[in-house]
Amino acid sequence: MVESLGRLALFADLTPDALTELGAVAREATYPEGEWVLREGEENSSLHVVLAGEAGLVVAGVERLTFHHGMYFGEISALLGDPVAASVFARTELRCAVVDRDQLFPFLLANPSVTLRLLQAEARRLADTNTWLA
């Protein structure tokens, strides 16, 4: 899994030691096609990074986005400790690296480049959301 994570843009500039640390705290999860990974209103405490397959983001009953290799979801609820604001399902068989909240915080603090990329992605997603609502 470490090698797979190192090829993703989110983690591209991590040192080998930081990648090893990430691999040690991440667990692999597989979801069959059609399974709900996250449901709106439920608790989530993990960042999910797509390693293989596709997931769909559903907001107010409408599929708005497809997550594919290298993309991630669940970070907002994991960071804030709030219930999930949108649902995510496996569009195809889905394999993810999952980092739980208690491991995510120390990792992000120790690796500011990853934190910056997450922040940039959130800004893009906020802009997209504003477009959906317009």
Q: In the chain, where are the structural domains located?
A: 2-133
Give me 109's structure tokens: 């603090």
Interval 99-127: pLDDT, tens:
999 999 999 999 999 999 999 988 887 88
pLDDT one-digit tens code per residue, 18-72: 999 999 999 999 999 999 999 999 999 999 999 999 999 999 899 999 999 999 9
Q: Domain spanning 2-133: which superfamily?
A: Jelly Rolls (2.60.120.10)
Residue 21 Cα to chain centre, angstroms: 18
Indicate the Cα dihedral angle 86, 87, 93, 97, nearest 10°.
50
- In one-letter notation, the amino acid at residue 12 is A
